Structure 1
C-alpha cells in the first residue's frame, strides 16, 4: 500500500522523547520553551506559543482578540472544519467566501466584498501549504481596520515573497499565524500547534489562556525558592503542549529543510509526469510563493467520477483523499448563508483528489501512482 501521507520520524525523535520521559518533567516545561524559541527563530517571529493543536491555536487567537457574539469573521468554507468551528467556539459568526480556483486559497476580491461594519477578523488559510495572497490580504485588513489571522496549519516551512524578500510563513505578516503538527503535516509532534505573533501583549494572553488563566506558570512556581500561590485571572483553557511532544518537535525542526526538499522534488516530478494530460489540472504555485507541498492536489477531467477513480486507485494499493472539504455543506453550517456563491469551493471538493506525497516516497512509488492514474485517465 502506498499511503496518502507518512510521518517522517527517526531514532533521533524517539531518543528525544525518551529523554523527556526520563527527565521527570513530561508536561509543559523546558522542552516546550525551547521549542517555542527555535520555532520563532526559524520563521522570523518575535513570539511563538506552543499549544495542544492548531484548533486550540485558532480558538486562542480569537479569544485573545476578544472576538465573540455579534462579530463576523470572514474565512473560506473550503478548509478543514476546524477553521469554522473555532469561530463558532467564540460565539462569532463565520462568513464564508469562495476561493481562487488555481491556488485553492481565499479570493481577496471576494473578501473585500464580504466586509461589513460587524467584521472583526479575516482567517485566511494557506491551503495544503500553498501560501495565500498575503500582500493583498494584509493591505485589505489594514484598510478596513480588521485583524488578519493566518490558518497556517499546513504551512510550516512555506515561504512567500514580500517586499522583495523571501520570508517564512509565520513571520508576522498578519496579526497571528496558527500552525499544526498533526501527523499529516510536514513536521509532527503527534498532535500539537503553535501561534506566532509580533505583538507581545497577544503572546502574553495566549500563555495565560492556554493554562487555565493561571497567573504563575508551573515552571516558575516549581523553580521558586519561595512559596508562591497562583491566582486564576480569567476563564482559561487547558491547551498546553507536553514536553514529550516538544522534544520530538525540536528534532523535527532540525530536519524541516530536508523534508521540504524531498517534497518539492516529488512535486516537480509529478508536474513533469502529469503535465501534458488533457483535462487534468495540476497545482499552481505563484512566482511569489514557495509551497512546502504538504499535499499534492489534482483536478480531474469532467468526464471522470471522483469516487470511482479513488476506488480504482485504492483497489491497486494507492491511497488518495478527495478534495478539501467545504464546511458550508456540513450540518452545523447549513444555516451559514454566504455573501455570494461558493461554486469554486464546491468544484474543488467534488472534482479534485490528493495524491500520495511524503518525504520517504521513492521514485518507483511515484511512478506506480502515475501509471495507475494515467490508466484511469485513458479509460
Structure 2
C-alpha cells in the first residue's frame, strides 16, 4: 500500500521522548519552553505558545481577541471543520465565503463583499500548505479595523514573498498564526499545536487561557525555593502540550528544511509525470508563494467520477483523499443561512483528489501512482 502520508521519525525522536520520560517531568515544562523558543526563532516571531492541537490554538486566538456572541468571523467553508468549529466555540458566527479555484484559498474579493458591521475577524486558511493572499487580506482587514487569524495548520515551513523578501508563514503579518503537529502534517508531535504573535499582551493571555488561567507557571512554582500559592484569574482551559511531545517536536524542527526540500522535489516530479494528462488540473503555486507541499491536490477532468477513481486506485494499493471538505455541507452548519455563493468550494470538494506525498516517497512509488491514475482516467473515458 502507498499511503496518503507518512510521518518521518526515527531513533532521534524516540531517544528524545525516552530521555524526557526518564527526566520525571512529563507534562508542560522545560521541553515545551525550549520548543516554543526554537519555533519562534525559526519563523521569526517574537512569541510562540505551544498548545494541545491546532483546534485549541484557533479557539484561544479568537478568545484572546474577545470574539463572542453576536460577532461574525469570515472564513472558508472549504477547510477542515475545525476552522468553523473554533468560531462556534466562542459563540460567534462563521460567515463562509468562496475560494480561488487555482489555489483553493480564500478569494479576497469574496471576503471584501462579506464584511459587515458585525465582522470582527477574518480567519484565513493556508490550505494544504499553499500560502493564501495574505498581503491583500491583511490590507483589507486593516482598512476595516478587523483582525486576521491565520489557520496555518498545514503550513509549517511554507513561505510568502512580502515586498522583496521571503518570510516563513508564522512570522506575524496578521494578528496570530495557528499551527498543527498532527501526523498528517510535515512535522509531527503526534498531536499538538502552536500559536505565534508579535503582541506581548496576546501572548500573556494565551499562556493563561491554556493552563486554567493559573497566574504562576508550573516551571516557576516547582523551581522556587519559597512556597508559592497560585491564583486562577478566570475560567481557563487545559490546552497544554506535554514535554514528551515537545521533545519530539524539537527534533522534528531540526529536520524541517530537509523535509520540505524533499517534498518540493516530490511535488516537482509529480508535475512532470502528470503534466500531459488530458484535462487533469495540477496544483498552482503563485510566484509569491512557496508551498511546503503538505498535500498534492489534482482536479479531475469533467465527467470523471471522483469516488470511482479513488476506489479503483485503492484497489490497486494506492490511498487517496477526496478534495478538502466544505463545512457548510455538514450537519452543524447545513441548516444555516448561506449568504454567499460557494460554488468553487463545492467543485473543489467534489472534483479534486489528494495524491500520496511524503518526504520518503521514492521515484518508483510516484511512477506507480501516475501510471495508475493515467490508466484509470483512460478507462473511464472509454
TM-score class normalised by the smaller sequence: over 0.9
Deviation at 1:121, TM superposition (A): 0.4
SS of the counterpart of 1:207? Answer: helix
Aligned to 1:228: 228
1:62 aligns to 2:54 (yes or no): no
CA distance in 1, matches of 2:345, 2:124: 14
CA distance in 1, matches of 2:378, 2:261: 32
1:217 aligns to 2:217 (yes or no): yes
CA distance in 2, matches of 1:335, 1:310: 29
Runs ≥4 residues deviating over 4 A: none
Deviation at 1:340, TM superposition (A): 1.5
Q: Deviations over 1:309-367 (max 9, x none)?
A: 00000000000000000000000001332331100000000000000000011100111
Deviation at 1:31, TM superposition (A): 0.2
CA distance in 2, matches of 1:117, 1:27: 43
Structure 2 gaps, min length 5: none
CA distance in 1, matches of 2:336, 2:358: 35
Q: Deviations over 1:197-229 (max 9, x none)?
A: 000000000000000010111111000011000
- After superposition, residues 1-379 of structure 1 pair within 5 angstroms as 1-379=1-379
CA contact (8 A) 1:76 1:106 kept: yes
SS of the counterpart of 2:111? Answer: helix
CA distance in 1, matches of 2:15, 2:338: 49
CA distance in 2, matches of 1:7, 1:248: 12
Normalising by structure 1, we get a TM-score of 0.99
SS of the counterpart of 1:378? Answer: helix
Structure 1 gaps, min length 5: none
Q: Deviations over 1:49-98 (max 9, x none)?
A: 00000000000001111100000000000000000000000000000000
CA contact (8 A) 1:97 1:338 kept: no
Deviation at 1:302, TM superposition (A): 1.2
Deviation at 1:377, TM superposition (A): 1.2
CA distance in 1, matches of 2:318, 2:280: 19
CA distance in 1, matches of 2:196, 2:181: 14
Count of matched residue positions in the alignment of Structure 1 and Structure 2? 379
CA contact (8 A) 1:95 1:337 kept: no
CA distance in 1, matches of 2:70, 2:33: 36
CA distance in 2, matches of 1:326, 1:336: 13
Q: Deviations over 1:131-164 (max 9, x none)?
A: 0000100100000000000000000000000021
CA distance in 2, matches of 1:38, 1:360: 25
CA distance in 2, matches of 1:136, 1:302: 32
SS of the counterpart of 2:99? Answer: coil
CA distance in 2, matches of 1:276, 1:338: 38
